[in-house]
Structure 1
Amino acid sequence: MVKLPGVLAKLIPSKAGKAAAADAAGDPESGGAAAAAMEAEKAAALAGAAGYARAPLTASGKLPLTWQLRAWWDGFDPNQIAEILGRYSPAVDEAGLDDVMAAAAPPPDEPEMEAPKPVDPDDWQLPFDPWDPYRLEVAHYIWGEGFCGPGGPSYVVNTSKLLALKPEMSVMEFGSGLGAGARALVEGFGCWITGFEQSGRLAELANHKATMMGMAKKAKIDLFDPADPNGFGRNYDRVIARQVLHQYKNKDKIVQLINKHMKPTGLVLATDFVLANEDARRDPEVKEWLRHEPFTPFLATSKEFSGLFSNCDFVVRVDEDVTLEYIQLINRNWRGADELVERLKMQPDGPDLITVLMRHGELWQRRASLMKAGKLRLWRLMGTKVGGKPEAMSDW
């Protein structure tokens, strides 16, 4: 059993303390489950700090690059670890340090990372499109070829089984990214996909990849223009919208447009980021997170998200929280990124890629932290058109 450094050992909650935190989940005066989750995360950071006791803090009191990445992959907030080390590490006894860090050589000193630069949506060189080549390459390394976020081909196929897809069906995918999800559906179900993406760079790359794979007709990605009176063109048997509606302020118009372009027997499957409740709108951590997002999200609460579809003539048949599964996907994809950093160091453009990797990691670490705290959720909803009878809806 690893011996903890003296001061850090005193900071780690006792079993009684952990039990009290668990009891707090059911106590309204203690802030409920969300408060208990936050306390549990802080307790984990205190315990985890023992493994970082020899990390050299930067001049501004942060963990160096390699140690930040390691903290993310271990499931800790690097800022919490740095705060603990800054307060208590001077009093740690060397004997305890040797026991804790016996198998880990300290990484070399690294320069402090500069703060991420906010994307200007009015910049004519970057109109609603922060996907430069470096970010695309990092996304490829972390999430898998053709993906811009958590998941993968098997995840896309499994979560789409609710739609009971068939080879003869037409499917509209809203927010297609690099098109990997559309191509996975073509391979998994044989259906015909028309994707819509607002990033011209992503749409172009997605169509190039589909052509290379012989799917140019079955996995075509078009540009989406909210002002286009033709909307999504034709009508579809199924519609999929993954983590895209939060980008739009007038969500009701988008959902109405989706309804307009669905066949009478159609089904829509939508997943998106939502706020847990009204209190989250005023939460300082949520406001700070919004400030760091590439583009300001227009978030609904989970209740508002469901109501959005009900008010647009959909019958909601699936309405569920899938946050835990999403957090597990994030953690799984970021595992082993320390090895990625070592590989990137060997490339001519390694420093630039590592900088982008760090910014991408910070973006997802902030999102995951809010999800763990119960303030930000990932919600899944499936609906049918009012008056239409869905054909062979899966009960999977």
Structure 2
Amino acid sequence: MGAETGINLATVGTAELKAMSVPVFRASLEQMSGEAIERFRKMRKLSKDHRQTLEKYLVEHPEKRLGGEEARPAPAGKARKAGKARKAPNPAAAAPKSTKSARSISFRHRLRAWWEGVAVDDLPRLEAARANGKRPAKIEPTASSLPSAPLMAAPQPAPQAPSPVEERIEVIQNIWGDGFSLPGGEGFFPGLLGDISFPQGCPCLDVAPGLGGSMRAVAKAYGLSIEGLEADPLFAIAGGMISDRLGMLAQTPIRNGNPETEPLGDKRYGAIFAREALFSFRDRKKFLASAMRALVDGGALLITDFVLADRQKSDVLDSWRTAEPLKPSPCTMEEYSELLRHLRYEVKGMEDVTDAYVALIQSAWKALHGHLKNAKIQPEKAAMLMDEADLWMARSRALESRKLKLIFIHARMHRVPKRALNDPMTID
């Protein structure tokens, strides 16, 4: 394998994988079975260099290709020529029995280190300090008094192993609760709406429902019919299936579509909802103008979104931008307000809900961390969890720094009556 040492690719996070050198990546492939390599290739998004290295490696090592020559015995002539027949690799025999357990422990250590805010190597020092009754140098996050996101019930045994797509959906729900893909469960977003009124007889639209948890909670709390328009096809399919399973498909259908480019209709919706989405829209103004046309007179625009505290540069914001799956382009609260007023929305309120949101993030991850202490977890799921952990660690740190904020926006669309041609006019 050379001077480079391999790493278990199934458990590395996205940022760690992106920064990995080609020699280390190749050395890591040496340690994987053909089946593991195939799963890894389907599940992970690779850089150009890593992709080329993987393809070249499979050409040079056909025995590692799934369905290829991995279990095919060598021809007798070649075996005699070499002096000894080469046995096909047996992953089960080659790997020690404790490998899976070691991978799980490694992941739990990494997750705990992320939670404590220290390096993995510093965990023994942290535990020793606590055992001696000393206060650790780093202050631990305080547990939130808000309710934690419930863990999803263990799935029933299936006749065949779940696909990576199913596993990712399960992982996300394990963090945020059954049917949810964002912090807060059934209480957070509906609680922000308070006593907001909605025009009667009009459907509503959610342009970022994810798995639909918040959308369904609002629909139940206010007796609304809400259509979900989800850009991620994976979430759209899974969210629709969850609505169907809960008997809410007619009230809360979800379909795949891009709200940035798809026409939203004309004077159709009594309200439009968006949770933590507009900060990564390419053209926020264009979308808000489209939403304005889609709302009936008196219709509500209800948004939670990430905004900047100011326009000053910050390392914590740079780290957050790098971790986001879609390139973020947040504005400040003042710029948001100015944009909405420019588009003739009546801004009813803008509320900073950062502290409550951070508490919900910490509470959910703390609950998951406690659950994983005695749980066995597959390497593939561990990798997915680390990807989510990387993203939410970056978001949480940016929010805790107060350089980034989460705000709740309530705006209304009031249409100006059209003038007749013979009406008197004045030009301001």
Normalising by the smaller structure, the TM-score range is: 0.5 to 0.7
Question: Which SS does the other structure have where 2:132 is aligned?
Answer: helix
Letter in 1 for 2:342: N
What's the offset of the Cα at 1:276? Answer: 0.9
**Residue 275 of structure 1 corresponds to which residue in structure 2?**
308
**Identity within the alignment, %:** 25
**Counterpart residue identity of residue 377, structure 1:** K
Question: RMSD of aligned C-alpha atoms?
Answer: 2.9
Q: Residue 78 of structure 1 aligns with which residue?
A: 118
- Asked if the contact 1:168/1:192 (under 8 Å) is kept, the reply is no
TM-aligned CA deviation for residue 381 of structure 1: 1.0
Contact 1:265 1:388 survives alignment (8 Å): no
Q: What is the aligned partner in structure 1 of residue 327 from structure 2?
A: 296
CA 213–367 in structure 1, closer or farther in 2 if over 3 Å, else same? same
- State whether structure 2 residue 188 is matched by structure 1 residue 155: yes
Cα gap change, 1:168/1:227 in structure 2, threshold over 3 Å: closer, same or farther? closer
Q: Distance in 1 between matches of 2:262 and 2:324?
A: 30
Q: Distance in 2 between matches of 1:217 and 1:379?
A: 31
How far, CA to CA, are the matches of 1:307 and 1:209 in structure 2?
A: 38
Distance change >3 Å, CA 352–CA 344, structure 1 → 2: farther
Cα deviation code 1:174-208 (max 9, x no counterpart): 10111112221222222111111101121112222
1:231 aligns with 2:264: yes
Aligned length: 283
Alignment pair present for 1:255 and 2:283? no
2:395 and 2:315 map into 1 onto residues whose CA distance is: 14
Q: Cα offset for 1:387?
A: 4.0
Whether 1:139 aligns to 2:179 is no
User: Is it true that 1:211 corresponds to 2:244 in the alignment?
Assistant: yes
Q: TM-score normalized by structure 1?
A: 0.65
Distance in structure 2 (CA, Å) of the matches to 1:316 and 1:168: 23
Contact residue 306 and residue 381 of structure 1 kept, 8 A: no
Alpha-carbon distance in 2 for matches of 1:227, 1:271? 17
- Matched with 2:395 is 367
> Does structure 2 retain, via aligned residues, the 8 Å contact 1:273–1:376?
yes
C-alpha contact 1:168 1:191 (8 A) present in aligned 2: no
Counterpart residue identity of residue 70, structure 1:
R
1:241 match: secondary structure: strand
1:66 matches 2:108: yes
Alignment of 1:1-396 (within 5 A): 65-73=107-115, 76-79=116-119, 85=122, 98-100=131-133, 132-165=165-198, 168-226=201-259, 230-232=263-265, 235-279=268-312, 282-342=313-373, 344-345=375-376, 350-387=378-415
Greater Rg over alpha carbons, structure? 2
Change (3 A) 1:155 1:166: farther
Taking structure 2 as the reference length, the TM-score comes to 0.60
Structure 1 residue runs without a partner (length 5+)? 1-62, 102-130, 390-396
Structure 2 counterpart of 1:77, one-letter code: G
Letter in structure 2 aligned against 1:66: R
TM-aligned CA deviation for residue 72 of structure 1: 4.5
SS in 2 for 1:219: coil
For residues 243 and 273 of structure 1, the distance between their equivalents in structure 2, rounded to whole angstroms, comes to 6
Indicate the SS of the match to 2:253: strand
What is the CA–CA distance in structure 2 between the aligned matches of 1:224 and 1:189, rounded to whole Å?
25
Does structure 1 retain, via aligned residues, the 8 Å contact 2:267–2:297? no
Pair 161,337 (structure 1): closer, same or farther in 2 beyond 3 Å: same
Q: State the distance in 2 between where 1:236 and 1:78 align.
A: 48
Could you say what secondary structure the match of 2:393 adopts? helix
- Aligned letter for 1:173? D
Judged with a 3 Å threshold, the aligned counterparts in structure 2 of structure 1 residues 144 and 198 are, in CA distance, closer, same or farther, namely same
Mapped to 1, the partners of 2:185 and 2:245 lie a distance apart of 19
Map of 2:426 onto structure 1: none
Q: Which shifted more, 149-158 or 251-260?
A: 149-158
Contact 1:167 1:189 in 2 (8 A): no
User: Displacement of 1:78 after TM fit?
Assistant: 2.6
1:233 offset after TM fit, Å? 6.7
One-letter amino acid of the structure 1 residue matched with residue 108 of structure 2: T
